[in-house]
């Protein structure tokens, strides 16, 4: 018993050293390993809809609310917001936001609205390292939040289909994005 107590004390002492924390936080391999581990846990839940809902509810909510709010602002007239996953045709649909008024001027931004979560992730990154004294637990929390934000910012196959459904809208928004890049970069 004394051996276990001593080994535990040595391990905690090792982890308490600032150099150990620095290696943990600055090691990209460990960060990627942690992200892959989190995603593996997430994908293991897909065999149980309740567990899948529990693991995915935060990210799904952010993704679908981004669609909903953008659709509301741009007159796409959202009609349905579903955050609870369900199985349709043998596959899980984690969430859904339907629109009644998709037009050339709102299809592209309403469908790709979750990409705004990347901006939120970028802002979290800047804020975290400027304001938080990094420790193991809050760094793991940071990695978890960034994983949720980035993974749920990516558009689904249906999102891409809706975004590119109207060529006039695509050309209009691509031209706008290019013009803004020229002005501000």
41-67 pLDDT, tens digit per residue, is 888 887 777 887 888 899 999 999 999
Give the residue with greater pLDDT, 32 vs 122.
122
DSSP string, 139-169: HHHHHHHHHHHHHHHSPPHHHHHHHTS-HHH
Q: How many CB atoms lie within 10 A of CB 42?
A: 17
- Residue 64: its H or E element: helix 49-73
Conformational region of residue 72, where left means phi above 0, alpha means psi within -120 to 50, and beta covers everything else: alpha
Residue 178 tokens read as 């290019």
Contacts of residue 41, Cβ cutoff 8 Å, sequence gap at least 6: 55
Is the per-residue pLDDT at 1 higher than 70?
no
pLDDT score, position 155? 94
- Per-residue burial over 64-101, b if 16 or more Cβ lie within 10 Å, else e, is bbbbbebbeebebebeeeebebeeeeeeeebbbbebee
Mean pLDDT for all residues in the chain: 89
CA distance 75 to 78: 8
pLDDT average, residue stretch 93-98: 90
Is residue 151 within 8 Å of residue 94, measured between CB atoms?
no
DSSP assigned state of 91? E
Give the residue with greater pLDDT, 8 vs 32.
32
pLDDT average, residue stretch 19-24: 78
> For the chain, what are the domain ranges?
28-184
pLDDT average, residue stretch 166-185: 94
Give the pLDDT band (50/70/90) at residue 136.
Answer: confident
pLDDT average, residue stretch 94-116: 95
């Amino acid at each position: 018993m004394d051996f276990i107590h001593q080994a535990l004390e040595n391990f905690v002492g090792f982890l308490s050293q600032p150099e150990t924390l620095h290696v943990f936080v600055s090691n990209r391999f460990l960060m990627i390993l942690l992200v892959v581990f989190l995603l593996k846990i997430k994908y293991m839940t897909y065999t149980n809809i309740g567990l899948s809902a529990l693991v995915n509810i935060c990210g799904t909510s952010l993704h679908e609310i981004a669609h909903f709010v953008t659709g509301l602002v741009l007159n796409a007239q959202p009609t349905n917001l579903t955050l609870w996953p369900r199985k349709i045709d043998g596959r899980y649909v984690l969430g859904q936001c339907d629109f009644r008024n998709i037009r050339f001027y709102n299809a592209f931004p309403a469908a790709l609205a979750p990409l705004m979560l990347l901006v939120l992730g970028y802002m979290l990154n800047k804020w975290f390292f400027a304001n938080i004294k990094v420790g193991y637990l809050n760094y793991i929390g940071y990695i978890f939040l960034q994983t949720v934000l980035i993974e749920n910012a990516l558009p689904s196959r249906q999102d891409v289909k809706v975004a590119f459904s109207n060529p006039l809208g695509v050309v209009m928004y691509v031209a706008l994005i290019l013009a803004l890049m020229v002005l501000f970069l």
